[in-house]
Amino acid sequence: QVQLVESGGGLVQPGGSLTLSCAASGRTFSSSDMGWFRQAPGKEREFVAAIRWFGDSTVYADSVKGRFTISRDNAKKTLYLQMNSLKPEDTAVYYCAAGAPAHIIQVLDAAAYQYWGQGTQVTVSS
């Protein structure tokens, strides 16, 4: 069983920055595809970014490309999302997710992930 705990959310002004963290329990973090998703009020959960366990390749949604950076520290079993140039439309609850260990998953598809955190609120407002 894997548990994921997000932190780092908060209130930030437009143009500001935040770094989200996702701490994982268990032994399979280093062999799991990891992703960040977000859900704004009244909207469906949407893909933000993902990083593969094999080769550390990354994928980003067009809406965050060039502004957000996903990374992982396997020794600390922690996933990160560095968010720069934040916009009001980035306001949402952000969730981290883990795929099944040693599997290459369709990282853009929320249904492909096996474990989810509880989420952390990010609010971008002046």
- In this predicted model, what pLDDT tens digit does every residue of 43-74 receive, in sequence order? 999 999 999 998 889 999 999 999 999 999 99
**E strand residue ranges, 29-91:** 34-39, 46-51, 58-60, 68-73, 78-83
* pLDDT on residue 103: 85
Average pLDDT over residues 73-81: 96
* pLDDT on residue 56: 85
- In this predicted model, what pLDDT tens digit does every residue of 14-37 receive, in sequence order? 999 999 999 999 888 999 999 999
Tokens of 62: 């067009």
* pLDDT on residue 94: 98
